[in-house]
Structure 1
């Protein structure tokens, strides 16, 4: 999440700066690839989303036994009801804080459009009143980006669309596992081919182009970002099948960690000062996000089966748990805080590494402080209500 906030902070401050030549200098530095390739941070969220949806679906319904999952759930009606239940839970879980932040964005951007010395970075003052319903239905990425309200909400829309597709596959897998597997594989291959084709015909060069250059064609479209989510679902099912227990030799463990680290670092920094042919560039655009998810798969499997070592200790640190509970609200809110920081100025930013560092840290801390308030006010009550209304919860109470 800090990686996401860092990338968005750079995008906004670069837009409202007075020394753009400095940007040209820092973008040539090796470590700036961390920011240029910040899109992989979103793939991490897609991967985690697919993994948790799959693992928790099988674990909750089967309680560790896949055979139990199929009992009493045969038929279109039963599967349809389960699918509707999954969608309603998701919609109720996400929408309240989402719509609140959208309303705040609409009001503040309209005010800044009339009062700030700067123009808003996007037309939220116009788009939100006219197209808010697309956000409400989580379909805003199916329309042109210049009509999008809360442009960063593309992730929420894509993740929800993936959730719908994943729910269909999971319900189908209950009684027709091979068909579900075939459907997932077909969609995954189609996503790879579509992404490669779009990148090729647009001559997209990931090594030199702005990562947001094809935002409306590749970056935010669900059919180009599906890979990490499906890989996450596959890993979730794998962990369910082995019950998070597997024996591996020391050689396997070492090779796994080396390959995973090499893959992650290569994707982040491997294209530095590298020129790709059109075919190789299209292939990279098509497969890189899925390769990132595959590398993360080893980390999850190793940590879940007792081979994580210090990595597992860090990722499982108790201090991260309360912070993780408000990450969703932090994602919704942080771009607004960055905009408020920039558009309240009466003169442009003067870029420098210390200015960027202080701005980033301030946005990071303030995002989580305010997100806690929004989470307690809008998210937590809905989650508690859903737990009370859960059939399993009512059964335990009775």
Structure 2
């Protein structure tokens, strides 16, 4: 019996030691399955105590080495070292290339991964790895930003306790014992095994990693450089030859709020809101009875004094006129108003502008989402399909706007008999003043909204440049801070395409330059008609010759890479793009002066309308085959643009003379009057909004026809709503002011 009792005591002691050892090991691994606890799963309590989750920063080097030796015996270690980027980075970390805290925490992550702790496996799972689809542009190995965030902030998800779940309890609730951040490493590769499109920057690999916050970005960049030169290179079948460019922590820098554009935008918005409030006060005051007065009754003393002072200031007539330009109610009525078309108008222009603006937005969706697309080659291949030709050829639609601008500039100028008489009677100095006046009013109508968009683009790209997971190729925040003055002078299209601030605004610069040139020739036309005509014809012929020459010099073809590569020399060049403006001006001159008279039967008119539409569509779809060879391509490019502009001119002339067919009547619908008033804001805003929304996504975009159609419809609605706000705040008030100044009687 004593022996039996002694045996029991020894067995009890041995079991107690074994149990304590198991409990201690559970802090190292959660592989031991526990009974399901609904409270644990739903976050009301944790299986980990704070003490268990503490990490000692000061680590004994011998202990770490022993732990590493033990980890190497794990059957998963070799596989992780070859397949996992985050694990490979941790392996190359040592006390010499990272700080002590970072080193200790990285090694803790490594041990926890090998011991299969839920929080560590979530970090491993949240980190990116090599993805399929590399050949056609999959350079986004982003992992999951949300999954990395959930390591510190568990998902607020409630799951029913009535179901048995085959999962570890800590997957949802277990938190990391130290702060973890999502970082993105950017590598430039030189792989010959990826389709190189030569369109923007496509050879940048994005790698998202969930790493301890104590590791600085510079240290992570050094770790990445060491890793890609070692084990990563050994398993690289695609011959990447990667070069680490930089690392982002996706946090907005404090300097964002110190940007000049931020201060200007805030000041401009506050001033606009103040003027709108003043306009509202003025409108209320005008509705009071003649003997009524504003005494601020019912307001606090300070508010009452402000109200009285405002009312006193608004009694000044010039200030009343200025403030009235910001009247929200009046501007709203002006935007949404529609009326019957009259004989002095060209109603087709409203529909033509609106439809072309929407088609250009569709193109911008494809273009400004490009930096997020992981099947870039497929996206460009869609552009050569017949269904997407109206989108991929949308840049040609800019010629529609140039044709309309040239036509209206000349047509309205020649129909203003008072102005023509004044020019004939004026001397050179007086005509220079009149020319400057016309330029000032055009500048006043265009620049305020344009300036706000430039500032907004600067802020948007500074924001996504810091916080987006993507490498931003066009850093407009950096470009605009240096070259904003080019945009305000409307000369940005005379410089390199990649150096453009707000690069889609090149057409505004062209239009302003053409406006100056056309006005100069029209002033000359009033004084010396023959000289102006000869100069115009010479300009037209010279442009055709120039287009041929520059196209042949650059081996121009319709392929996307050539079109992009010749952006500076051809696409944004005013010397090439002036052709439709000249043709529109010539047709307007013939119509205004009634130089051409013709009598057509109703059938002939219908035939010409349908023929013009046929030519228009043929020009749009002529780029379906993009490998004609540069000689044939240049010929098609030069002569095709002439036919394209002339087809638009016939539509304009037909509408101006009251003719039309069923599809032209659709373009003359009253709803397009409203959309046409928003066309300027619509054009300026859509690339910025598209870039912002795609830049805020945290996973790459897969381009396919269905999602592209949905995206285009969605962006059309979003940009339309934004255009109403921006137009009412920053366009219409200054248009009203311009009209006010033009109608102001001269004082002597």
TM-score normalised per structure 1:
0.92
User: Radius of gyration: which is bigger?
Assistant: 2
Query: 1:211 — aligned with what?
Result: 563
Aligned ranges 1:305-316 → 2 under 5 Å: 305-316=657-668
Moved more, 332-341 or 261-270: 261-270
Moved more, 349-358 or 337-346: 349-358
Residue 11 of structure 1 and its aligned partner are, at CA, apart by: 1.3
The answer to whether the aligner puts 1:3 opposite 2:359 as a matched pair is yes
Contact 1:37 1:211 in 2 (8 A): no
Contact 1:207 1:272 in 2 (8 A): no
Pick the structure with more helix per residue: 1
- What is the CA–CA distance in structure 1 between the aligned matches of 2:495 and 2:627, rounded to whole Å? 32
The answer to whether the aligner puts 1:45 opposite 2:401 as a matched pair is yes
Per-residue Cα deviation, 1:96-118 (whole angstroms, up to 9, x for no partner): 00000100100111111111101
Query: 2:378 — aligned with what?
Result: 22
Query: Could you say if the C-alpha distance between residues 245 and 98 of structure 1 is closer, same or farther in structure 2, counting changes exceeding 3 Å?
Result: farther
Query: Could you say if the C-alpha distance between residues 360 and 121 of structure 1 is closer, same or farther in structure 2, counting changes exceeding 3 Å?
Result: farther
Aligned ranges 1:1-398 → 2 under 5 Å: 1-23=357-379, 25-62=381-418, 68=421, 71-73=424-426, 75-206=427-558, 211-242=563-594, 247-273=599-625, 275-390=627-742, 393-395=743-745
Contact 1:244 1:305 in 2 (8 A): no
Query: Could you say if the C-alpha distance between residues 24 and 212 of structure 1 is closer, same or farther in structure 2, counting changes exceeding 3 Å?
Result: closer
Contact 2:606 2:661 in 1 (8 A): no
Contact 1:204 1:282 in 2 (8 A): yes
Query: Could you say if the C-alpha distance between residues 291 and 222 of structure 1 is closer, same or farther in structure 2, counting changes exceeding 3 Å?
Result: same
- What is the CA–CA distance in structure 1 between the aligned matches of 2:559 and 2:619, rounded to whole Å? 11
Moved more, 154-163 or 16-25: 16-25
Per-residue Cα deviation, 1:290-311 (whole angstroms, up to 9, x for no partner): 3211111111111111221323
Contact 1:244 1:304 in 2 (8 A): no
- What is the CA–CA distance in structure 1 between the aligned matches of 2:441 and 2:619, rounded to whole Å? 35
Moved more, 339-348 or 202-211: 202-211
Task: Give 5+ residue unaligned stretches, structure 2.
Answer: 1-356
Residue 28 of structure 1 and its aligned partner are, at CA, apart by: 3.9
- What is the CA–CA distance in structure 1 between the aligned matches of 2:653 and 2:672, rounded to whole Å? 20
What is the Cα-based RMSD across aligned positions, in Å?
2.4
Per-residue Cα deviation, 1:4-23 (whole angstroms, up to 9, x for no partner): 00011011223311223532
Residue 70 of structure 1 and its aligned partner are, at CA, apart by: 5.7
Residue 56 of structure 1 and its aligned partner are, at CA, apart by: 1.1
- What is the CA–CA distance in structure 1 between the aligned matches of 2:560 and 2:473, rounded to whole Å? 23
- What is the CA–CA distance in structure 1 between the aligned matches of 2:634 and 2:722, rounded to whole Å? 41
Aligned residues: 392
Query: Could you say if the C-alpha distance between residues 141 and 271 of structure 1 is closer, same or farther in structure 2, counting changes exceeding 3 Å?
Result: closer
Contact 2:461 2:477 in 1 (8 A): yes
Moved more, 2-11 or 314-323: 314-323
Moved more, 124-133 or 199-208: 199-208
- What is the CA–CA distance in structure 2 between the aligned matches of 1:158 and 1:20, rounded to whole Å? 30
Which structure is higher in RCO with an 8 Å CA cutoff and minimum separation 6? 1
Q: List structure 1 runs of 4+ shifted beyond 4 angstroms.
A: 68-71, 207-210, 243-246
- What is the CA–CA distance in structure 1 between the aligned matches of 2:503 and 2:573, rounded to whole Å? 12
- What is the CA–CA distance in structure 2 between the aligned matches of 1:244 and 1:342, rounded to whole Å? 51
TM-score normalised per structure 2:
0.50
- What is the CA–CA distance in structure 1 between the aligned matches of 2:596 and 2:674, rounded to whole Å? 24
Contact 1:195 1:224 in 2 (8 A): yes
Residue 44 of structure 1 and its aligned partner are, at CA, apart by: 0.5
Residue 396 of structure 1 and its aligned partner are, at CA, apart by: 11
Task: Give 5+ residue unaligned stretches, structure 1.
Answer: none
Query: Could you say if the C-alpha distance between residues 115 and 224 of structure 1 is closer, same or farther in structure 2, counting changes exceeding 3 Å?
Result: same
Contact 2:444 2:734 in 1 (8 A): yes
- What is the CA–CA distance in structure 1 between the aligned matches of 2:417 and 2:652, rounded to whole Å? 22
